[in-house]
Amino acid sequence: MSTNFVGCIANIKVGNEDIGLPSFSPGVVPCCNEMAQGYITEPGAYFHSQGGYIQQAPTAPPQSVSGRPLSHNSILVEWSPPPANQQNGNIVGYKVLYIINEDGKTEVEADVMRVGVVTRAQLENLETWADYKIWVVAFTAAGDSPMSPPIIVKTHKSVPSEPRNLVADLVQQDPLVAQVSWQTPDEPNGKIESYKLYWGLKGEIYTQVILKAHQQSFFTPPIDQGETYEFRVLAKNEVDFGERAVVELVTPDGDTGQSPVARIEPRFQYVNEGAPVKFECIVTGSPTPQVEWYRGGGRSLNPRARVSAGVLTIPRAQLSDESDYYCMATNENGQTEIRTILYVKPGSLKQVTIIVRQTKYVVIAGETARLECYTEEGGERVTLFWSRQAGLPPGTQQANGVLTITNTQPIAAGRYICTGTDTDTGKISTAEALLEVNVKQTTVAPTVTMEPEKITIPMGTTGTLRCVTTGTPQPTLTWSKSREQLSPNHQVHMHTHLVQVSRIALT
């Protein structure tokens, strides 16, 4: 919609009401149109009238912005309003923009907290020990001010979260010995310095053990049968000890026979994608327990996984193999199971390279042709398959990258493609080979006869002689006269094996 400005005035009326003009910054010339809806200071700038005053977005940001951490997850931000002569109306509130200070992140992705006319804000639920970039914006009814220059504030450190995957298992029967193990907390909130372990009969006084940061397991001295033991583990960083993880262990009683006891070595495992995996389930019990491995969540084991004598192996770990796994041991006195976790780190698996033994094969028709391809780094995980656009000829067989064509015929000639498929990654590579089929020919010595054997030609006329030949391959002909070269009046037609002599003369 176009606006027709009717002039610049000292005040503005809306209806019959003279609303006057507020104070303007130097150089600002108020103008209005016939609707008296606003004023323009420069092309494209539009301002609201509100509460009897015409307002503009602030032209300066909030001043003296500062911040300080209150805790590991909160920051207090304070500031002063924009200069009075650049507020351009009533400040009705502020916006605090904040985001973790990481490469590539901008204010566009920032969280926004709105506050009223107060000049402070408390940011909550922040990440621990993290740098935050913070801006403040003032706004009137007409719009936002520019953003203040950013400040960087770091939240405080905090204690660690509870250690992960705390488990306790019996690892020896006579006497009973337990092993308790755990992993680094999900949120260490700094560097882990040590662990504190409390353990003992549940409800009684516990023994305290301090372990170094790299020690994430503990073997108990002999413990009693038919009891319940409790284990509590806390991690410590430079702030203090953090949250505790708790696990219980019930020991078997002393009845005849022994229920199964199992442990897994290694307790947990981190591998790169493509690396081999081996877990050993070590069991004791009387009678000897039966051992079974299964995967958590009802999922199937990797088809290439093997279980033998309590050992689970995966020749090449895939990302989909990351999971929890269970060893279950069973005998007539009971059943037990123990859990482990396999972590698989994404890696850069190379695409296999397919190599053909020869890029060009030449074979005589009727003989056997052998085309061969292979890969140097793929091993058993790569399947090799030969193909041809026109289809493989009859009588072909292939195995392990070798294509055999018996009684090869000319129709078998052409380009063949060897395709290698990595069964772990699904990646495909190809290589080509060319097959040529030559027809074998027999050799027959040449024969030659003249037609007619004898001819008399009158002088001045033309005579014709024909040379008839046989032989394989086709013989090459050469005409001569009494073992001399032909004269210019001799014409030889090689395609018909004729020689014509025109204007015969006596020589």
CATH of region 63-154, choose from 2.60.40.10, 2.40.50.1070, 3.40.50.300, 3.40.640.10: 2.60.40.10
CA separation for the pair 263, 380 (Å, rounded): 32
Compute and round to an integer the Cα radius of gyration of the chain. 47
Say whether pLDDT at 313 is over 80.
yes
Domain layout of the chain by residue ranges = 1-56, 63-154, 164-250, 258-345, 355-438, 444-501
CATH of region 355-438, choose from 2.60.40.10, 3.30.590.20, 1.10.645.10, 3.40.50.280: 2.60.40.10
pTM flag (> 0.95)? no
> What architecture is the 164-250 domain classified under in CATH?
Sandwich (2.60)
Q: SS3 sequence, 298-365? A: HCCCCCCCEEECCEEEECCCCHHHCEEEEEEEEECCEEEEEEEEEEEECCCCCCCCCEECCCEEEEEC
* Per-residue pLDDT tens over the stretch 142-176: 999 999 999 999 999 899 999 999 999 988 887 88
CA separation for the pair 236, 244 (Å, rounded): 10
The CA dihedral of 418, 419, 424, 427, to the nearest 10 degrees, is 130
* Per-residue pLDDT tens over the stretch 379-424: 677 889 999 988 999 889 999 899 999 999 999 999 999 998 887 7
The Cβ-side half-sphere exposure at 258, using a 13 Å CA radius, reads 18
Given a contact cutoff of 8 angstroms between Cβ atoms, the answer to whether 179 and 218 are in contact is yes
Cα separations in angstroms, 198 against 166, 176, 456: 13, 19, 133
CA separation for the pair 354, 91 (Å, rounded): 71
The better pLDDT of the pair 124, 20 is held by 124
Q: Which amino acid is at 501?
A: V
Given a contact cutoff of 8 angstroms between Cβ atoms, the answer to whether 94 and 62 are in contact is yes
Percent of the chain at pLDDT exceeding 70: 81
Domain 258-345: state its class. mainly beta
Given a contact cutoff of 8 angstroms between Cβ atoms, the answer to whether 394 and 411 are in contact is no
The alpha carbon dihedral of 418, 420, 421, 423 has a sign of positive
* pLDDT band, very low/low/confident/very high, at 8 (cuts 50, 70, 90): very low
